[in-house]
Structure 1
Amino acid sequence: MDNQLVFATNNAHKTHEVSEILAPEYKVLNLKDIGCDVDIPETGNTFAENATLKSSYVVQHFNLDCFADDSGLEVEALNNEPGIYSARYSGERGDAANMQFLLHKMEGITNRNAKFKTVISLIKDGANYLFEGVIYGKLRTEPIGDKGFGYDPIFEPNGYDITFAQMDMELKNQISHRALAMQKLIEFLKTT
């Protein structure tokens, strides 16, 4: 098939979800499908740089068009930390440790404004296209909810009185930062 794209992820659920949306125009493969078992380093200083590092790696080593994403939480009062370090903010990978570390840093701070951001890098026919999704909200003072992952239990999106971790996945997948960026990618792919 000429119209195949690699999604630089090992997450089978994400791959299936995107495959359903892009079918039948595109066949979506993930890293496992192409035999890539490398943990592609994310050494960039921005979400866009990290996403581009991942998509570029696939293009350079496998000669296949590819898209990749990088996401994180940015807290206004902490100068947009944790940002690109969201997955290892506490010094280790682990959702609970990172969330507790952030809550500890936020003790006594009244400005709870935060945003989740995703940037997708698509390298297609040698050109790099970037798509960004942002959702604004505020941080709760303690976790609530058992759905989602990462900082979802402490992030309440604007216009809602529940956290991402309390939200039905169908709703979250319509309004989240990743969903917004993915919609832009899909619109672009369907018009090219």
Structure 2
Amino acid sequence: MTRLVLATHNAHKVVELRRILGNRLEGIELVGYDGPEPVEDGTTFAENALIKARAAFAHTGVPSLADDSGISVAALGGAPGIHSARFAGTRDDADNRRLVLERLDGVAERDAEFVCAAAFVAEGFEHVELGRWPGVVGAEERGSGGFGYDPLFVPADGDGRSAAELGADEKDAISHRTRAFTALLDAVGDRLR
């Protein structure tokens, strides 16, 4: 069986990626990454995803997948963007959401998008794909599912529920992560075997 490293220490992402990728990777064992976290000093989601995938490949010698993702809010000039996980300076999801709501207080235009860069690195080969999920930032947190900014994000292609109010299968069908990793697997599928 072929092995593929999921280059993340985020347990939520591991569960979600295994769910999203599982049926597309028959005969491939997805393994977690226990190596050191690299310094994410890229200026884009794509650069940071590649940094993580390269680090996992260098550490394990096993072809590696990684993602970098976050929310980009138009009224905040694209912030939190690549700083989504540490926007409030605490790395706490609730603090990050609270700061976004504070910054959007009184703002009518609340367009936002989740962005995911999915990267694959193997010997002599690298590839990145982007997935975008447009929507708006709601006026308050709703729902208990998902993680990160899900309780604030209301997808444009939904029925008015927040991402945290969607079931896992519903979210997986339309999310930025699904879009990015589906495109990535379509592009590099033959190299996974």
Q: Same fold (TM over 0.5)?
A: yes
CA contact (8 A) 2:49 2:119 kept: yes
Q: What amino acid sits opposite 2:136 in the alignment?
A: K
Does 2:19 correspond to 1:21?
no
Higher RCO (CA 8 Å, separation ≥ 6 residues): 2
Q: Counterparts of 2:17 and 2:148 in 1: how far apart (Å)?
A: 19
Hey, what does 1:188 align to over in structure 2?
187
Return 5+ residue gaps in structure 1 as ranges: none
Q: Counterparts of 2:46 and 2:163 in 1: how far apart (Å)?
A: 24
- Report % sequence identity: 33
Hey, what does 1:77 align to over in structure 2?
75
Hey, what does 1:4 align to over in structure 2?
3
Q: Counterparts of 2:57 and 2:145 in 1: how far apart (Å)?
A: 34
Return 5+ residue gaps in structure 2 as ranges: none
Hey, what does 1:179 align to over in structure 2?
178
Q: Counterparts of 2:168 and 2:16 in 1: how far apart (Å)?
A: 13
CA RMSD in angstroms, aligned pairs only: 1.7
Q: Counterparts of 1:166 and 1:70 in 2: how far apart (Å)?
A: 23
**Structure 1 residue 188: Cα displacement:** 2.6
Hey, what does 2:169 align to over in structure 1?
170
Matches within 5 A, 1:53-68: 53-68=51-66
CA contact (8 A) 1:15 1:30 kept: no
Q: Counterparts of 1:176 and 1:46 in 2: how far apart (Å)?
A: 19
CA contact (8 A) 1:117 1:134 kept: yes
Q: Counterparts of 1:113 and 1:146 in 2: how far apart (Å)?
A: 22
Q: Counterparts of 2:40 and 2:101 in 1: how far apart (Å)?
A: 25
Any idea what the Cα deviations from partners look like across 1:81-127, whole Å, max 9, x if unmatched? 00011011111111111101110000111110000000011112312
Q: Counterparts of 1:14 and 1:146 in 2: how far apart (Å)?
A: 16
Q: Which has the larger displacement, 89-98 or 53-62? A: 53-62
- Number of residue pairs matched by the alignment: 186
Q: Counterparts of 1:62 and 1:159 in 2: how far apart (Å)?
A: 39
